Amino acid sequence: RSYSRTERRLGTTATTDMARRSMKERYLIAYNVIQACGWAYVLVHATQHAWEFHQQPTRARGGAQLQSSPYDIVRDFVVTFQVASFAEVAHSMLGITRSPVGAALMQWCGRTHVLMCALDAVGALHGTVAATALVIAWALTEVVRYPSYALGLYSQCPSWLNWLRYTIFIPLYPLGAGAEMKLMYDARAFARKANMYSFSMPNAFNFAFDYVTFLNGLLIVYPFLFYSLYSYMFTQRKKKLGHVTSVKKQQ
């Protein structure tokens, strides 16, 4: 009887664990599919309008625009899906995924700051090449990353997609980081003129903050932060694709 009760208890525990795992996998698949669809929309519409928009005469783009910029067209989707990606930081913190919390948080904070505080807040930057490059670089990265995560949950990720996931970042991460730095650099003039996000003493908190100074400091350390993330991705690439390289060498 004792053995029977123990067996039933173990069986119940195993069933509960399987149910929890199934719920977690369904949630992660839904999350990754939704993100992939959102960024696919961004990619299609941004690239569709990018060439035509940036071929407009500079005078037209600086004054009465012939059409909305690629960023303006996809702005709501970019903001929604980028801000919502904070879920990935929460996933890491809660142990739902095995991604390092520091790397996930650093990438989310860096992207969201550039998007909301620099690009979105300064209308004059919406029509720049840097804004378009940023949106397309992010979208290209995510339409590969999210499907590979979703399929990987069931060990069904094709080898070509896995290879693309850990290769496409090589050109796209520097492109995205360069666009981010350009947007922050260009945002400084507007931030200085509008005294954006800045406050001086005296105040109730006895604390002063100058956003332009913050941007200057961030632009100095940004290459080092980028190098840290970029190096991490190369380490991941070696782990994920190392066996593929070894097999090819043996052949």
Is 88 one of the catalytic residues?
Answer: no
How far apart, in whole angstroms, are the C-alpha atoms of residue 180 and residue 182? 5
How far apart, in whole angstroms, are the C-alpha atoms of residue 192 and residue 89? 32
Catalytic pick from 88, 149, 166, 180? 180
Is 180 one of the catalytic residues?
Answer: yes
Catalytic pick from 173, 197, 222, 230? 173
CB-based contacts of 61: which residues, under 8 Å, 6+ apart?
53, 127
**φ, ψ at 209 (rounded to 5°):** -145, 130
CB-based contacts of 42: which residues, under 8 Å, 6+ apart?
74, 77, 78, 81, 135, 138, 139
Instruction: Count CB neighbours of 76 within 10 A.
Output: 10
- Among candidates 121, 248, 134, which has minimal Cα distance to 195? 121
- Residues annotated as catalytic are 173, 180
